[in-house]
Every structure is written in structure tokens, then in C-alpha cells.
């Protein structure tokens, strides 16, 4: 593990640094950290003035047992110099390194820069940032507590997960974070949560169901999650506070998707499935939305042709019955305006919608499914635009059939 630390030219007073069970009296926190943790290398960043001062002379003597690397840096007075420091810190770390960063004597804006560097290193070089240390020297006090600011990286992670959830509906990272928090608290005997893991599991299942266009599984997971969230809210406030800010938004999404009677096809279930498609569209999952839209029309047709009665799984999920309905729709609505509609469809408004909707859905679904591997293919922008124009027709079909 590497320690990245900074030494300046100012006078450092002797103090007893305290972290967890560790205590050490010194002027240099880097010396204490090197003794407390199993570092095999210490990287020291020095300005020209700091390198010529007594601090570095003394510290280098005390770090003779370790492999020490000196890295010269500018003063950081301009944006260009800050970027130069950024580059030199990045260059001092190899891909996959395990590091700790000491920001105690990082001057001016460098502590903020170093947090950004740590986040960047984790993503780009897959570096494991174990600690971000800050020694709180208090003049006149015999002890100086050492704080681990790694929680700032955790906060950045929550921010990224929040952005991803808001833009794409992907809550898998949040779910995994809840599970890790649950397991970590119990393993380290810092708490005994009972609901975090279950909520995390359901979040992951719900996100997977959304991204794989599985409305029945999504409805079941959302139903379970809706029951779990109130129970888990107190634990989330205590041990996963950033997530608490997302609960209201998540509950709204869960409420749209949650449905209990997923084995029965009725008007309520069809409405939930349509909301599922609309949510896929909002998250930009147009391939999944198009695939589901075609299946929804088949579901609608089976329900409508059976006098809009509630149907069991055997009546609407049977492969042969679905295949027969697909053939019926294709025979009636892919043969031109002259093809007669099926006997059960008398409403001219519904016929007019299906004449445009069904062939367009079939063609779009095939274009998506074949990944454009055909001569008469659409470009990506055309595909996206057509789906945006097509999905409102589903709602139109539903509203007119309800009337």
C-alpha cells in the first residue's frame, strides 16, 4: 500500500496524533501513519521551498525504513499549476494500486483537488483508496484526532448512483450499497440492521427487471419493495443517510410499478403494464419499451376479444393462444386498408389505430432485434424518433377501448 502525503515549509508543532487505537507523538503525521499502517512506499509531494526547508530534512530521516519517492510540485497559485499537481499525483500511482492519502499539510485548495483525484483514480486506474486522512491539530491541546475523510468518496458514489437512478432508473448500485452496508455493520459488529439487505435485494431485482423488460417480475419486486421501504426507513436514516433523500422519489416509482395480481390479466393489470412501458421510455430504454409495447398490444387484444373479462395465466400467457392472436392481428392489419378486421373488433376508432400501430411495432421490433442487420434498416435517430411518436398511440388505443 502507498501513502501519498504533502510536506510544506511551515513550522509543525509536536502533538500526539490519535486514530482509532493508535497514538503517536510527532510533528509529522506522515511518520505516525507510516508506523500505524503497512505501507511499502511513501510518496511525498514537495514544493521547491518545502524541499529546501527543515521539515523535509527531518521527515526524510525518520522515514529511512520505507521506500520514499519525492515528487516536486508547483505552488498551486494558478489553475495551470493546480492541473500540473493533479497530473503529478495521478502519475505517482500505478493501475490497481492500494493507497491512502494524507491531506493534513496539503495547502490552499489541494485537499479539494485530492478528493477529486481519489475519485478519478478509482475509476480510471481501478485504484483502491483505503483512507483519506486529515490530522486535526489543535493549538494548546495535547492530542490531535486523525479523521478518515473516505466518507467523502462514499458521498460521491451516492451522488453518482443518484444521478444514474434519476436518469436511467438503474438502482442496482444503490441496492448493492445497502446490502454491503448491512453485511459490513454486522460483520464489524457496529450495528444489527434487519431490513437493509432485503431492500437492497429488491432494488436490484427491480432494476434488472426494468432493464430486461420483465413487467411481471418488476411488478412483484415493486410490490415487495413498497412493503419493505417503510420498515427500512429508520435503518436507512441511521446507516445509509444519503439514500434517505431518494426514498420519496423511489416510492413514487415503486407505486407506479407495484401490482399484486400479476397472474390475472384485467384492466388494472393492463394499465400497470402500460405505465411500465412509459417508464421505460422516460429512462431512454427504447429497445425494451418497443419489445414490451408489441407484447402489450397482444395482451390488450386477448383481453378485449374476451369481452374485457379478467383472464387467468392459462388464458393470456399460453404460447399457442398468443401465437394465434399475433397471427390474427397480422392478418388483419398488415394486409393494407382492405383487409377486414377480426370479428370481435367493431369500433372503427380502434381499427384505425391498429392499422398504423401494429405493423409499425412489428417492423420496429424486428429492426431492434436484428441490430440493423438487414438492407432496409433505419438509422438510430430515425428509430428513436419513431418510437417516441409510436408510444402515445398505445395510450390512445387504451383510452378509446376503455370508453
Q: What is the pLDDT of residues 122-137, one digit of tens each?
A: 989 999 999 999 999 8
Of 230, 225, 300, nearest to 267 by C-alpha is: 300
Q: Are 33 and 100 in contact (CB under 8 A)?
A: yes
User: Which of 126, 149, 172 is the last residue in one of the domains?
Assistant: 149
Whether 254 and 308 map to the same domain: the answer is no
- What does the mean pLDDT of the chain come to? 91
Whether 25 and 118 map to the same domain: the answer is yes
Of 385, 367, 368, 384, nearest to 376 by C-alpha is: 367
**Looking at residues 376-398, what average pLDDT do you find?**
90
- Given a cut of 70, is residue 335 above it in pLDDT? no
Q: What CA–CA distance (Å, rounded) separates 245 from 320?
A: 47
pLDDT band at 211 (very low <50, low <70, confident <90, very high): very high
Q: What CA–CA distance (Å, rounded) separates 222 from 207?
A: 10
Residue 7, Cβ neighbours under 10 Å: how many?
25
Q: What CA–CA distance (Å, rounded) separates 156 from 119?
A: 8
Whether 220 and 302 map to the same domain: the answer is no
Which residue carries 466518507 as its cell?
151
Q: Are 226 and 251 in contact (CB under 8 A)?
A: yes
C-alpha cell at 11: 513550522
Whether 109 and 234 map to the same domain: the answer is no
Whether 255 and 269 map to the same domain: the answer is no
C-alpha cell at 295: 407484447
> What are the start-end ranges of the H helices in 22-78?
29-36, 48-51, 54-62
Percent residues over pLDDT 90 in the chain: 64
User: Which of 211, 235, 260 is the last residue in one of the domains?
Assistant: 260
pLDDT greater at residue 338 or residue 69: 69
Which residue carries 402515445 as its cell?
392
Beta strand ranges found along 142-251 (DSSP E): 143-148
**Looking at residues 202-221, what average pLDDT do you find?**
94
Domain count along the chain: 3
Residue 308, Cβ neighbours under 10 Å: how many?
14
Axis-axis angle for helices 286-305, 380-402 (nearest 10): 30
pLDDT at 336: 61
Q: Kindly report whether the global pTM for this prediction surpasses the value 0.85.
A: no
Whether 132 and 195 map to the same domain: the answer is no
pLDDT band at 113 (very low <50, low <70, confident <90, very high): confident
β 67-72/2-7 pair status: unpaired
Whether 267 and 339 map to the same domain: the answer is yes
- Domain assignment of residue 190, given as a range: 150-260
pLDDT at 250: 82
Which residue carries 430504454 as its cell?
285
Whether 243 and 288 map to the same domain: the answer is no
CA distances from 60 to 6, 28, 203, 222 (A): 12, 11, 51, 58
Amino acid at each position: 500500500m502507498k501513502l501519498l502525503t504533502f510536506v510544506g515549509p511551515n513550522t509543525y508543532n509536536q502533538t500526539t496524533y490519535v486514530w482509532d487505537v493508535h497514538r503517536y507523538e510527532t510533528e509529522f503525521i506522515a511518520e505516525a501513519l507510516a508506523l500505524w499502517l503497512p505501507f511499502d512506499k511513501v510518496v511525498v509531494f514537495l514544493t521547491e521551498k518545502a524541499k529546501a526547508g527543515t521539515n523535509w530534512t527531518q521527515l526524510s530521516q525518520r522515514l529511512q525504513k520505507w521506500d520514499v519517492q519525492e515528487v516536486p510540485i508547483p505552488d498551486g497559485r494558478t489553475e495551470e499549476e493546480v492541473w500540473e499537481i493533479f497530473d503529478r499525483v495521478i502519475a505517482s500511482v500505478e493501475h490497481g494500486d492500494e493507497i491512502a492519502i494524507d491531506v493534513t499539510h496539503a495547502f490552499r485548495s489541494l485537499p479539494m483537488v485530492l478528493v477529486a483525484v481519489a475519485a478519478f483514480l478509482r475509476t480510471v486506474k481501478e485504484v483502491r483508496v483505503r483512507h483519506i486522512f486529515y490530522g486535526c491539530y489543535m493549538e494548546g491541546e495535547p492530542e490531535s484526532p486523525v479523521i478518515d475523510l473516505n466518507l467523502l468518496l462514499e458521498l460521491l458514489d451516492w451522488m453518482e448512483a443518484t444521478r444514474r437512478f434519476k436518469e436511467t432508473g438503474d438502482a442496482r448500485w444503490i441496492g448493492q450499497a445497502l446490502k454491503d452496508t448491512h453485511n459490513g455493520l454486522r460483520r464489524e459488529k457496529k450495528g444489527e440492521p434487519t431490513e437493509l439487505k432485503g431492500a437492497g435485494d429488491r432494488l436490484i431485482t427491480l432494476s434488472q427487471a426494468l432493464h430486461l423488460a420483465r413487467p411481471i417480475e418488476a411488478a412483484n419486486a415493486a410490490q415487495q419493495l413498497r412493503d419493505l421501504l417503510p420498515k427500512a426507513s429508520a435503518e436507512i436514516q441511521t446507516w445509509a443517510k444519503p439514500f434517505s433523500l431518494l426514498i420519496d422519489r423511489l416510492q413514487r416509482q415503486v407505486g407506479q410499478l407495484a401490482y399484486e395480481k400479476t397472474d390475472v390479466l384485467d384492466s388494472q393489470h393492463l394499465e400497470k403494464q402500460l405505465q411500465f412501458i412509459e417508464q421505460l421510455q422516460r429512462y431512454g430504454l427504447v429497445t425494451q419499451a418497443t419489445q414490451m409495447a408489441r407484447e402489450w398490444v397482444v395482451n390488450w387484444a386477448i383481453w378485449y376479444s374476451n369481452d374485457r373479462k379478467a383472464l387467468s395465466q392459462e388464458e393470456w400467457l399460453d404460447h399457442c393462444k398468443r401465437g394465434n392472436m399475433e397471427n390474427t392481428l397480422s392478418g388483419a392489419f398488415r394486409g393494407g386498408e382492405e383487409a377486414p378486421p377480426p370479428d370481435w373488433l367493431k369500433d372503427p376508432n380502434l381499427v384505425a389505430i391498429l392499422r398504423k400501430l401494429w405493423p409499425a411495432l412489428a417492423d420496429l421490433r424486428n429492426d431492434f432485434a436484428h441490430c440493423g442487420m438487414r438492407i432496409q434498416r433505419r438509422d438510430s435517430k430515425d428509430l428513436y424518433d419513431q418510437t417516441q411518436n409510436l408510444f402515445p398511440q398505445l395510450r390512445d388505443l387504451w383510452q378509446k377501448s376503455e370508453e
